[in-house]
Amino acid sequence: MEIEYAPHVEEIKRALDNEIDEVSITTDLKKLLKFRVPLSEAKRSLIKKYGGAEKSILRKLKDIKIGDHNIEITVEVLEVTKKTITIKNVNKTVFTGNLRDETAVRSFSAWSDHDLKAGDVVNITQTYVRNWQERPEINLSPRSKVTKLSTRLQAMKDSELKKLTEFRDGDINIHTEFTIMGLDFHDINTKDGIKKIMTGIIADEETKLPFTSWVILPEIATGNTVKIKNGYVRSYRGVPTLNINEGSQVIKLEKKIIFKEKAGSRIEDVISKDGAYDIVVEGNILSIRPGSGLINRCPRCSRVIQKGMCRAHGKVDEKADMRIKAIIDDGTGAMTLVLDSVLTRKICGISIEGAKDMARTAMSQKAVEEEIKRKIQGRRLAARGNMSKGEFGITLVAGDVWEPIATIQEKAQQFLGRIAG
């Protein structure tokens, strides 16, 4: 046996219950590597071929990374929801929720029913970590092994008071204070039937964020100021979201916390956060990114598609839409600004029908992008929306956009100057 293969062959042998000679393993390993199969995948393939089970790697949730495979975790189940989705015209049931250990909280998804219930403490092996909205998510496959434990996880110690701006995805044992600015009730599907939850907006003196309460409590009411202990943070669409469940302590406070609305935030300050909700930024449009202008979407899932093909729903009757993806810079930093069709029309004066006519006349959808570039590149704009960080950088998805008053006044002075001249 060649020495460079020795440690890998030994690793494969340790995972096998039966006796397979080293020569056979080495021969098969060389063959797979010759065909450029990655070493880790080659070892997994041979363990499976010879009837063994690759030993799972013990991990804490704070240490897991996107792409990790065959890991072992011991966690408490916080919530489990159940929904039916359609993939290529086939209905499938998916179970989702949140898991926590002593270090972090992470979401999970499973295509099989592993009989998980809120409050269960379980050991999970042969699972892997996938990318979900640029965050690591535990994925339970049909071959994942779930063992329910009678023990409890280590009790959490009291944590220091945290401001909303300090929240990061995966934070556990959150201790914070805020005022509830708005509240809604929703029904969600769980394994045990329909469950009512509360969602809304919370704020301290300088930051607003969304929240979800998995329990209905009288203390959680619009206008109340409350203290939360043992909450946790998950990001939704890139924005940190406070979660409250049965294990959280909620105390109504007599004092009031008043949110102080800012005229605008420096981009430098915004991009230092994990995500931001309902902020205002102002800056110059430096460039228009590819993918702006007239686009086509799947009518069922709204994905941007090409030639009528959606990766989830196959061939569909595409729906025309319009957007702007621009770079906005205020001198302290820059980010991508995304405007939908309504805001594109507001700031550029181009409707979807007008964009379609423009593309037909020019025989190219690129003409719409060029017209947008001509109209807004170099202009100073203000926008309000939510900021998130992901694979494609830092993005503000706008809910509104406008030309700042100072810019309008400056243009008016220039116009009056020309008339006077």
The better pLDDT of the pair 53, 259 is held by 259
Q: What is the DSSP string of 23-63?
A: HHHHHHHHHHHHTT--HHHHHHHHHHHTT--PPPEE--GGG
Lowest mean pLDDT of 14-23, 147-156, 206-215, 297-306, name the range: 14-23
Are the CB atoms for 372 and 293 separated by under 8 Å? yes
pLDDT (mean) for 325-353: 96
| The pLDDT of residue 1 | 42
Residues 298 and 220 in one domain: no
Same structural domain for residues 233 and 350?
A: no
Q: Does some domain include residue 117?
A: yes
Task: Take residue 207 and report the two structure tokens written for it.
Answer: 């930051």
Count of CB atoms within 10 A of residue 193's CB? Answer: 8
Inter-CA distances, 108 with 98, 102, 124, 174, 234, Å: 6, 17, 12, 20, 12
Nearest alpha carbon to residue 283 among 323, 326, 342 = 326
Q: How far apart are the first and last CA of the chain?
A: 92
Residues 187 and 308 in one domain: no
The pTM (predicted TM-score) of the whole model is 0.75
349 contacts 378 by C-beta, under 8 angstroms: no
Is residue 168 in some structural domain? Answer: yes
| CA–CA distance, 63 with 73 (Å, rounded to integer) | 11
Does residue 262 lie in a domain region?
no
User: Do residues 288 and 336 share a domain?
Assistant: yes
CA-to-CA dists, residue 186 to 151, 199, 213, 219, angstroms: 33, 8, 10, 18
Give the model confidence (pLDDT) of 8-44 as tens digits.
887 777 666 556 778 888 888 888 888 888 887 888 7
- Same structural domain, 140 and 62: yes
- Domain span at residue 247? 164-253
Alpha helix segments (H runs only) across 206-309: 267-270
Q: What is the domain-level CATH number for residue 171?
A: 2.40.50.140
pLDDT of residue 38: 84
The helix (run of H) or strand (run of E) holding residue 16 is none
Is the Cβ–Cβ distance between 107 and 80 less than 8 Å? no
Total domain count for the chain? 4
Q: Examine residue 415 and state whether it is found in any structural domain, yes or no.
A: no
Give the residue, 152 or 401, on which the prediction is more confident: 401
Return d(Cα 162, Cα 174) in angstroms, integer: 7
State the amino acid at position 271 in one-letter form: I
Buried b (16+ CB within 10 A) or exposed e, 259-272: beeeebbbbeebbe
At 283-335, the pLDDT tens digits run 999 999 999 999 999 998 888 998 888 887 788 899 999 999 999 999 999 99
Instruction: Give residue 43's pLDDT.
Output: 80
Instruction: Kindly state whether residue 36 falls inside one of the protein's structural domains.
Output: yes
